Structure 1
Amino acid sequence: MKICIAGSRRPVKHGLIPSGILFLPSTCLIIRKNLPILEFQKINQMKKTVLFSIAFAWVVSATAQQNEVVVSQNEQVLTVSVDPQYRVGINTKVPGVFNNLVWAEGSVAMLQKGAPELPVFYSSLIIAPVGAVQVTTTYTSYEDIQDISLLPSKGSLKRNINPDDVPYEFGPVYSTNAFFPGNLAEAGTPGIAGKDRRVSVRLFPFQYNPVTKTLRVYHGLQAIVLVDENIPGENEISATVRANEPGDNQVLYTPLGETGRMLVIAPQSYFNDLQPLVDWKKEKGIETDLVDIATVGNTQSAIKTYVQNYYNQYNDLMFLLLVGDHAQVNSYNAGMAGSEIKWSDSEYGQLAGSDKYPEIFVGRMPAASVSEVQRMVSKTLEYEKTPDTGSWYTTSIGIGSDQGAGIGDDGEADWQHLRNIRTLLMGYGYATVHEFYDGSHGGADASGNPNSSMVATAMNTGASLFMYCGHGDQNTCVTSNYSSTDVNAATNNNKYPFVISVACNNGTFTTGTCISEAWMRAYNANGPVGAINATGSSILMAWAEPMEVEDEIANILTEQYGTANIKHTLGGLFYNGEMSMLDAYNNSTTSREVMETWVMFGDPSVMMRTVTPDALTASHLLNIPLGSTSLTVNCNTDGATVCITQAGQILGTGTVSSGTVTINFTALTSTTPLLVTATAFNKIPYQGTVMVDPLGVVQQDIANGLQVYPNPASDVLTVEFFSGNNNTQVDLLNTLGQQLESRSVNGQNSFTKLAFDLSNLEQGVYFVRVNDGQQVSTRRILVK
């Protein structure tokens, strides 16, 4: 289900009707639904009630309209409404067998194997921190449709098979003279997402009796969700740690923020090469700690315990970066899925409750050597600090199979799913979205099946986003046969995409090297190539559930929620997308498995780029006195983050508003220069230095052309300036402000050049101060 904050446009997720479904104008049924109206009501001090209201009206039409869900809030009342349409059509995918299919925008399939496939609607909400969840339902009326034949669901399938090869199995439901699923609503197990306790509620307005072949649709369906604080519930939290009150946010998952500190765990041997990355993260305002895996302990229990304790100590922890292959930093064994071990990095980010909603974003730089660390760090710093300024950022690549119609998320085949995402991207401002689909589907998709050369050409030209949805193995995207070999042969230097792969085993990295690792490690003679980040499953992947993640990533990236859910970091996009999947599929076993085993390779705190970046400009004092407690920075980009650091430590951060921000900090006690860093989405960062004057004199920009050179200096230092009409004094000072040498120059209204002998000075930092009686300028010099 998709959602829109009041007054904003909500994504139209289902732009294509699933293939294999025939809708005839004379027989077409369209259901208009208002979903759902939620009212938070306090029953008493110990109970809270949430009211879901769904109203249905039948109309006849041959034209589908776009679906939009609107959320509005007034104090404790949260209202959700939508006017989508639904169709009951003839399913032509099974030749010779007449059957119907109910298709509904804004819904997901039940995926209960052997039972009738019916649309389900879901909502997720913040609930009281303690108490058991109970659900009751009411409705105003229902309407029966006779002679409807529905095939059973094939269940949640893996992507190592062709769904068309899976036979339909009619389960016990089909011999039972009763309406399925029977209950009109249900609440899932409460979970903890970030600091909030949430519950997902599913609503079943469609009921089917397979014996009488009757489809029943309920009108005015209401689900009343009661949280009884007198009865112990699951995954309870302390009210003191709750981030929001019930009703404080929109329906669906609570988006996790993307600001906070970072923990980096790596072998000691990688520290020197990781330090530039750690320094940069601090410079841009992310408190970052680098910890030796030997200190942590290289077992899953030791790593989980260390991260848990760190999170308990620093509740602003947002990013965890593991650096190393499985041998260097163990992944987490989350149990078995069939014959496969569910290797999970995301398990280290699930730090509250027994659910699979994350508290932090986890990424891995899969470096098995120092040289691989160097390349990954270099790529990340280049992407964030000194990005390429080409036009390729508005290009995306979509590769998909032609399978999955009626089985995939929203009933879409893989290519339909990616084409709908393409529509969002093009509407957002992408100039080119390549379509590489099996089969021939018109549009930008060429006839026949794509090949690896076609994909390689697009890759090497440059793309900011690479979405795959199809079959895969450890080293291959089966549609196009684009493989690790192609990644390693890439020439996309300086043009790195964010790769999201819905495929089997593209992230199987604990036994051998996978294509996701190739995306991160690839390089050529000109430097790193491949991806900035890549996501891949460590096991066989589910078919439908991860498609919802790609949908949600596209919705967030293209700002379909307006300001209600803006995410720019790769971790923020990926993990919020996975939370949407958990909600949509009611925390099913399969959706939890996807959450566990979908690995993010790369730094989760990296901010994605979607347009050619332009320079972020800023201005501020170039010199402030010792003891200063603030600095004002003017900037051309509202919303930019400005951070001030000194000697690698963050003094303070702030956000630019109306072109300015003042950052307060503890009084300066060191003359070490300050570094000002400003960053913003799709901008080239600004960095500037502020000198700290030991004598407490604030530098002013004087127009007399002061030059001090060479710097660093060893024997002789030249000071050149325009003396004007006033007498000018030039002093050489040490870091204590003590005068080592002083020169006076009478006003000559001309350029003056002075030479200072430095041969007797010890190596270190010194200052040159020029004072013409009206203006003062100080320059820092280094004597070597």
Structure 2
Amino acid sequence: MRRVRFLVCCIFLWGMSCLLHAQMLVVCAPEYIEEMKPFVTWKIQKGIPTQMVSMSEIGETYEDLRDYVKDYYQTHHNRYLLLVGDANQVPINYLPGYDVTPFTPYTDAEYGYVSGTYPPEVLVGRLSAETADDVKVQVEKIIFYEKNVDENASWLSQCVGIANPSGTDKGDNDETDIQHIRQVNSVLEQYGYTTHETSTKKELTDLLNIGCGIVNYAGHGFMSGWATSDFSISDVATLSNEGKFPVIISTGCDNGKFATGTCFAESFLRARNSVGDPIGAVGMLGFSAQVTWNPPMLGQDEMVRILTSLDIPDSRKTFGEVANEAYRKVIEKYRGSGEDAAKEWILFGDPSMMLRTRTPGKMVVSHIEAADNGITSLSVGCDKDGAVVALSEGNNLLAVQTVENGKAMLDFPAVTGDKILTVMVTAFDKVTYTGQIIIGDGSGLEVADSDASVMIYPNPSRGEIRIDGLSASSAFISIYSLDGSLIRKAEVDLGTSIPLNVEPGTYFLHLQSEGRYIVRRILVTE
């Protein structure tokens, strides 16, 4: 099968300045390139410049991909690697010392071990897929989770722990599964989560449907489900948790065993309901093989500790960083078995995804809405220090900066011509802010006539305008694109809201009334 390499470059943020590095490499099966484009655009807008490359240009084997990743890192120093496709499309790496059988453990994480040993230079995740829609739904969930979750998402502060209350086997810290989960829930509760404990399918289904931000499972697992609760792939398909996608940390064996068929983790990430709405989870950690008892329990403890720690910078709370930092403790304590666990725990999802831990709050953001041609700097006010401000035009990332003392100053090459710039502000546990700046001569929203008595507002518009300052009851309007194409022509009633009926973008509005001819440039945002 042909292979495609799809490269995502990103910004490396140091807080005081932005260094344009390719920080994410996305290796994608050729048939899924189109479905990944919205993901690429989002990462650019968020502050990660993105580029596409084809896996078929890399080769077909693990060695081909390993060598490419190593060479790429040595040039670009990227932090993240996202693999897009199933095991037969983007290769896995079988651990050495084993005969290759259906039971052989394998890893994605080792692609990131550029120097050959832990810690990895590159953090690896996978969007496993068998169809284009499998990719599309995962991209939709990631963008929703990072960009569109709002201040009403109280479900993020709910968490579920799953364990057998009567199990007697003991693991890390000499804990049984239920003792372990109760300790995990205790840490989460102290942080501010509302915690739930269950071992039954019915109760788990209800809790997932109500919505929860994080799910922790401790117990036996198999390729298609969890032994405790008997929750399996078929149950994922019946969920109704639209818009409430958790991140799942599972210590069970084989939940991430995706190379020999559809595994439990894949079912959570690929899930849609009967009408096509995304359901399931936005990310999951699942093992590709059977594992010893202790390392996963310690890893789960550490992930929860890191996620809720007030001493760890918010910028380190991406999916990949949280998992990787947890592996450090696991390897320190359990050595060889800890190293195996770190490699075999497959990260299903986007390793660069900033995790959420509570209902997000809104940020107060301010910036200009229009500017003349030639602008080379931008000041953005924000009430959240540490927030990341990114400025982009199309798929071109212009600048990235972090907020310090309530302000971010962005410098970039001169922007000329009629353009719309996107301002994106993101921060840990905050609602993402999206704004736009229109660029053009005369501050972008110029009046083409000298008659300031006629008001056309609001501008920018969300799809409707009002026209004041004319005595007539109606007027003729013509709407042109920036290239001069006529989009719409109509007679409209004045003194009331006028729907524009155009797609978001920049237009020239020509107004004729009472023998007057007025031209205004307008920005439509919705």
**TM-score by structure 2 length?**
0.81
3-state DSSP of counterpart to 2:267 = helix
1:733 is displaced (CA, Å) by 11
CA contact 1:634–1:661 (8 Å) conserved in 2: yes
- Residue 293 of structure 2 corresponds to residue 531 of structure 1: no
Aligned to 1:322: 83
Q: Give, in angstroms, the shift of residue 624 of structure 1.
A: 1.2
Kept after mapping to 1: 8 A contact 2:314/2:428: no
Question: Given residue 107 of structure 2, which amino acid in structure 1 is its aligned partner?
Answer: S
Q: 1:556 to 1:705 in 2, by over 3 A?
A: farther
1:492 aligns with 2:241: yes
**Structure with the bigger percentage of strand:** 1
* 2:305 counterpart residue number: 555
Give 3-state SS (helix, strand or coil) of 1:591's partner: helix
Does the CA contact (< 8 Å) of 1:623 and 1:699 recur in 2? no
Kept after mapping to 2: 8 A contact 1:345/1:599: yes
Find the aligned partners of 2:283 and 2:187 in 1 and give their Cα distance.
21
Give 1:272's aligned residue: 34
More helix, by proportion: 2
1:610 and 2:340 aligned: no
1:70-118 Cα distance to aligned partner (Å, 9 max, x none): xxxxxxxxxxxxxxxxxxxxxxxxxxxxxxxxxxxxxxxxxxxxxxxxx
Partner in structure 1 of residue 294 of structure 2: 544
Determine the C-alpha separation between the residues in 1 that align with 2:81 and 2:293: 28
Q: Is the 8 Å Cα contact of residues 328 and 368 (structure 1) preserved in structure 2?
A: no
Q: Encode CA deviations 1:638-671: one digit per residue, 9 max, x unaligned.
A: 2211100012111001112232211111122343
2:459, 2:522 within 8 Å by CA — same for their partners in 1?
A: no
Matches within 5 A, 1:99-110: none
Alpha-carbon distance, 1:778 to partner: 6.4
| Secondary structure of the corresponding residue to residue 577 of structure 1 | helix
- Closer/same/farther in 2, CA of residues 657 and 300 from structure 1, 3 Å limit: same
The match for 1:262 is 24
CA RMSD of aligned residues (A): 3.6
Equivalent pairs: percent with the same residue?
32
Q: SS at 2:202's partner residue?
A: helix
C-alpha contact 1:507 1:536 (8 A) present in aligned 2: yes
Aligned pairs for 1:4-403 within 5 A: 261-315=23-77, 317-337=78-98, 340-352=103-115, 354-387=116-149, 389-401=152-164
Task: Provide, for residues 522-565 of structure 1, a one-character-per-residue CA deviation record: whole Å limited to 9, x for no partner.
Answer: 110351111110111111112101211111111111115x1468
Partner of 1:161: none
Equivalent of residue 623 in structure 1, options 370, 377, 399? 370
Counterpart of 2:436 (choices 685, 689, 694) is: 689
Aligned amino acid, residue 516 of structure 1: A
**Letter aligned with residue 363 of structure 1:** G
Rounded to whole Å, the distance in 2 between the matches of 1:736 and 1:454 is 58
Task: Report Cα offsets for 1:396-434 as digits up to 9, x if no partner.
Answer: 111124588785212222221221111111110012x11
Query: Larger relative contact order (C-alpha < 8 A, sep ≥ 6)?
Result: 2
Q: Determine the C-alpha separation between the residues in 2 that align with 1:403 and 1:335.
A: 37
- Counterpart of 2:393 in structure 1 is 646
Residues 448-491 of structure 1 show CA distances to partners (whole Å, capped at 9, x for unaligned) of: xx321121111111111111111111112111111112112211
Residue type of the alignment partner of 2:422 = L
Aligned residue in 2 for 1:576: 325
**Larger Rg belongs to:** 1
**C-alpha distance in 1 between matches for 2:344 and 2:84:** 18
Partners of 2:465 and 2:283 lie apart in 1 by 49
Q: C-alpha separation between the residues in 2 aligned to 1:467 and 1:405?
A: 19
Amino acid of the structure 2 residue aligned with 1:591: G
2:220 corresponds in structure 1 to 471
Equivalent position SS for 1:610: coil
SS in 1 for 2:183: helix
Shift of 1:735: 6.7
CA contact (8 A) 2:370 2:443 kept: no
CA distance change for structure 1 residues 691 and 406 in 2, over 3 Å: closer, same or farther?
Answer: same
Distance 2:425 2:465 in 1: 33
Is there any run of 5+ residues in structure 1 with no aligned partner, and where? 1-242, 244-258, 437-449, 724-731, 738-750, 754-763, 771-776
Q: Would the alpha carbon gap of residues 628 and 703 (structure 1) be closer, same or farther in structure 2, given more than 3 Å must change?
A: farther
Contact 1:262/1:286, CA 8 A, preserved across alignment = yes
Q: Which amino acid aligns with 1:707?
A: Y
Shift of 1:698: 8.3
Secondary structure in 2 matching 1:629 = strand
Aligned counterpart, 2:521: 779
TM superposition shift of 1:682:
1.8
User: In 2, Cα distance between the equivalents of 1:608 and 1:380?
Assistant: 10
Whether contact under 8 Å (1:623, 1:778) holds in the other structure is no
Distance in 1 between residues matched to 2:465 and 2:237, nearest whole Å: 52
C-alpha separation in 1, matches of 2:483 and 2:380: 27
TM-score (norm 1): 0.55
2:53 maps to amino acid: V
Question: Which residue of the partner structure matches residue 425 of structure 1?
Answer: 188
Amino acid paired to 2:367:
H
Question: 8 Å contact 1:508–1:539 — kept in the other structure?
Answer: yes
AA in 2 matched with 1:494:
G
Matches of 2:428 and 2:457 in 1, distance apart?
36
Rounded to whole Å, the distance in 2 between the matches of 1:372 and 1:399 is: 27
Unpaired segments ≥5 residues, structure 2 = 1-13, 15-20, 471-478, 485-493, 497-504, 512-518
Q: 1:709 to 1:428 in 2, by over 3 A?
A: closer
